[in-house]
Chains A and B, each alone.
Chain A
Amino acid sequence: MTRIGRLFRRRHADSELADELAAHIEEMADDLVESGMSREEALHAARGHFGNRTALLEQSREVWSFLPLETFLRDLRIGARSLRRTPLFTAVAIATLALGIGANTAIFSVIYKVMLRALPFPESDRIVMLWERPPKELITASPLKNPGQNPVSPENFATWRSRTHSFEGMAALDTFPIGLSGFGEPRAVDAQRVSAAFFRVLGVAPLLGRTFDESEDVPNGPDVVVLSYDLWQTQFGGDRAVVGRTISLLDQPFRIIGVMPKQFDLPFAHAEIWVPVQIVAGDTDNGRYLSVIAKLKPGVSLQSANADVDDVERQIGRERPRFNHDWDAWANTLYLQTTGEVSTALLVLFGAVTFVLLIAAGNVANLLLMRGTQKRHELAVCAALGASRGRIAAQLLAESLLLSFSGGVLGVGLAYAGLRAIVTSLPALALPRMEGLHVDAQVLCFSVALCLATTFLFGLAPALAFSRTRPDDALKQDSLRTTGRGGRRVRGLLVAAEVALSLVLLVGAGLLARSFLNETSVERGFRTDHILTMQMFFAPARYHETERRARYMDEMLARIRALPGVEAASSAHFLPMVGIVSGSGFRRMDRPEPAPGAEVTADFVIVSPQYFRTMGIPLLKGRDFDEHDTTTVEPGIIVNEAFARRFFPGENAIGKALGLDWNIRHGVIVGVAANARQTDLKVPPEPTIFLDQAQTPMYFGALVVRTAVPPAAMAQAVQQAIHAVDPDQAISHVQTMEQVVGESVARPRLESLLLTIFAGVALLLAVVGLYGVLAYSVAQRTREIGIRMALGANARQLVRDVVRDGLQLMLPGIVAGIAVSLAVTRLLSSLLYGVRPTDPLTFAAVCCLLLLVGLAASWLPARRASRVDPVGSLRWE
């Protein structure tokens, strides 16, 4: 008979074995009778000699069983049965675990997508980004979010490309929205002007056709365009004959030469079409606006590439000091570039959910310990029937495994539902590389591993504790029902640890929340209500002449201002709070020209008349721009208060002349406006120069419209007014100013929200744990309490005792939690704004909150203790 066959015929085999053993006893009894015993004595002796028949049967059976699998399945069956008998316990345990495992799965899947996945380019570890870094005195004044990563000037890029020797290829790129027309509604698409080497550096071949070559990436080269897969699908229906056709971009015909494969995109700058950047060698336009990517030659380290490009930058600084004195250059890997900014937040969140899981596991361990105490009798019977320690432990672990996997299944569901909600409510690119949210095999593997780890985390201690149950325990009188001191100590430690962990999370959440409040309640200097914004890019072919461009904006604004419901309308080349501003040099004309390297810079914002009225920024002195500020008169300049204070301390700035590093070379200050934040909420107002769009017309700009009605209600009318001037004008980012500000703080809000949610869950779990331990101990000690009441203890004393027990459980946890928090909140510092990681107010508030909630959790069991009926409790059982 094979083992497997035996598996199916086990019932039969068992009864055969039982018959055989019965016969054995009878035979032995016969022998004993022959030696002179009575029949009854003989049978008794034979049975006694035989010992534990159940264990013998089990062992004989085990010889045949397909052990590991069969025992495991049986343990699972028994576990499931036992869990079904205690539905409340099971539901609480599974829900607790689902929260812990779900939170971990969600955060891990984000970390996996954003940080662990390789970038979708071959040999991506060799792809770097190159940046310029301004001299120190400029860094502090820099309007950029990350001042060390200054975009690159075209001329410097060209010099790097020809003089460095560490790179296989180097490409510049520049992303901007442009109008795409010629078929259907004109729409704005994100375009990237890129060097021919761009596709070679990223190592991706086109799906159809070809990409540009070096001969096309030259000044006045052909107008050719490569499409993204998505644009090809949506605008051209995936027509393979699209290569060779012509589309209209910026009012100019461009020939389609290729289509890139699906999901080809840079992780930090989305684009739908690519056109040659066609940099003019020796371009002396003193702007820095290019991003530069490059591929290291095999075997070249990041350090030597850094030294190489910095060396060239130093040469440039000596050759063209006016613009480049003391600038550095450096290389950053594309990976760090993509993940650097979010990795701190993600790791902090991952730490937080790990804490939540630990607390959840602690709670379930506690529940199991309490349940185990009730199951002691049952387990002792198992031991008496011959179950070994290992068998009992394995059986208890199987139960834990069932719990954690049920929790895991539920948790993964929760995780994906939660992620979907978060990702869809987030503005694009708030998290890089989050596109395509689906269940990854790797993430599922992580969740399964997590379930296993969790099982051991919460299941091992109870399993070991109760496998020590001895058979005689079943026979012992346990009417006194005192719990073992050891078990209580373990439960107390678990609760203290939970309190400590949740305190750490609460402190972290509190700090992030304070930081977020600081950031959003900062004095902005402008109003956000009742403002509608939208962004436009003007077709260069149509608006090539400066005059025409200036008039175009004037006409649009005139029509918009005439709309009923509009109080004021203006434009800015970059909106406040979008993270970008222009910066450039200037000098006071009444002072001698500064030495090279001693130049000063300011933010430059190009606006139309009524800008300050629209944005609610008070004009402190002088006048606003008006219709008399045209290209034929001396350009007017409005500066902000920070500028006036810094560069005209104790003087009246009005009427002073400035020299500008701009396409208008000079102007006169006509007004001083109040300070307003420009780059984002965290950057305090910098010295700023406002110029008039009519005097230095830009090719792009944002409209700002102050409305008397809710701004979104005006969106349609404003767009119609624009199309009345130019029906082909593409419009993008139609948003209220409140939305613009909201997007600028989307990530800190998300971080603070998530950490608050996790901390809330942690607090809830810890409090439930505390309550459970106290309630259980009161229930266990009903008789003791009854005796004390009978002996004259009053209710108040009893309440005080239970509450004191609760505090004794919590206090060590709070102390440990404070210590851990002081050690770890430093990791948050890069995420905090206006609050120190050791902020005493946050710490104090969190401790108070925990104590209050803890007292409330102790109060309920305490009241129950005070209502024990002494007579009833003594009669118990």
Chain B
Amino acid sequence: MITNEEKRSLFPGALEMMVLQTLRRGPLHGYAIARQIRQRSDELLEIEEGTLYPALQRLLREGWVEAEWGLSDRNRKVRIYKITAAGRKQLQRELSSFDRMLAGIARVMRPAES
């Protein structure tokens, strides 16, 4: 059996960040979130359901997303997630720290030529 730990994202919180980013463009249900992330990453990132749903529960718990029952494109009863104002603020915070981190990593990996 493969444990969830082994397929966890790059760093803690990355999955949550991607989910929030995906939801910023509009409310989506769970499967659609997974599909979107896969497509937008050019199939590089495969989202495990085993991590997606606990992550969604964490986001609900923190009040960064809301959920209500609605209908999918195929008229199936699904739970649709929507980012909240607090969720946007959190995403902003995470993105800026993510950018700083990326910049830091870039500097380490490609030292200045001078």
A positions within 8 Å CB-CB of B: 1, 3, 16-17, 19-21, 23-24, 26-28, 30-31, 49-52, 55-56, 59-60, 62-64, 384, 386, 471
Q: Which residues of B contact A59 (CB under 8 A)?
A: 4, 50, 53-54
In the complex, the answer to whether A52 meets B58 with C-beta atoms within 8 Å is no
- Give bound CA distance, A102 to B31, whole Å: 59
CB distance from A471 to the nearest CB of B (A): 7
Given contacts A23-B76, A49-B49, A56-B54, 10 further A-B contacts (CB under 8 A): A20-B30, A20-B78, A23-B31, A24-B30, A24-B31, A24-B49, A27-B32, A51-B48, A52-B50, A55-B50
CB distance from A709 to the nearest CB of B (A): 87
Take A21-B53, A23-B29, A471-B1 as given contacts and tell me if A63 and B77 are in contact as well, using a CB distance cutoff of 8 Å: no
| B77 and chain A: residue at smallest CB distance | A23
CB distance from A35 to the nearest CB of B (A): 12
CB distance from A206 to the nearest CB of B (A): 66
Q: Which residues of A contact B61 (CB under 8 A)?
A: 3, 63-64
- Give bound CA distance, A386 to B50, whole Å: 12
Q: Which residues of A contact B2 (CB under 8 A)?
A: 51
- Give bound CA distance, A187 to B15, whole Å: 90
In the complex, the answer to whether A27 meets B74 with C-beta atoms within 8 Å is yes
Can you report 30 residue pairs joining A to B where beta carbons are below 8 Å apart?
Answer: A16-B79, A20-B30, A20-B79, A21-B53, A23-B29, A23-B31, A23-B72, A23-B76, A23-B77, A23-B78, A24-B30, A24-B31, A24-B49, A24-B78, A27-B31, A27-B72, A30-B74, A50-B49, A52-B1, A52-B50, A55-B50, A56-B50, A59-B50, A59-B53, A60-B53, A60-B54, A60-B56, A63-B57, A384-B1, A471-B1
- Give bound CA distance, A16 to B67, whole Å: 11
B positions within 8 Å CB-CB of A: 1-2, 4, 29-32, 34-35, 48-50, 53-54, 56-58, 60-61, 72, 74, 76-79
Take A23-B77, A63-B54, A63-B61 as given contacts and tell me if A56 and B30 are in contact as well, using a CB distance cutoff of 8 Å: no
CB distance from B6 to the nearest CB of A (A): 12
| Number of inter-chain CB pairs below 8 Å | 70
| A58 and chain B: residue at smallest CB distance | B54
10 tightest CB-CB pairs across the interface, nearest first? A63-B57, A27-B31, A24-B31, A59-B54, A23-B78, A60-B57, A20-B79, A60-B53, A60-B54, A56-B50
Take A51-B49, A52-B1, A56-B50 as given contacts and tell me if A64 and B57 are in contact as well, using a CB distance cutoff of 8 Å: yes
| B33 and chain A: residue at smallest CB distance | A24
In the complex, the answer to whether B30 meets A26 with C-beta atoms within 8 Å is no
CB distance from A147 to the nearest CB of B (A): 74
| A384 and chain B: residue at smallest CB distance | B1
CB distance from A571 to the nearest CB of B (A): 90
In the complex, the answer to whether B79 meets A56 with C-beta atoms within 8 Å is no
- Give bound CA distance, A19 to B72, whole Å: 14
In the complex, the answer to whether A17 meets B50 with C-beta atoms within 8 Å is no
| A388 and chain B: residue at smallest CB distance | B3
Q: Which residues of B contact A16 (CB under 8 A)?
A: 79
CB distance from A815 to the nearest CB of B (A): 47
| B63 and chain A: residue at smallest CB distance | A1
- Give bound CA distance, A64 to B58, whole Å: 8
CB distance from B86 to the nearest CB of A (A): 15
- Give bound CA distance, A248 to B39, whole Å: 108
In the complex, the answer to whether B54 meets A28 with C-beta atoms within 8 Å is no
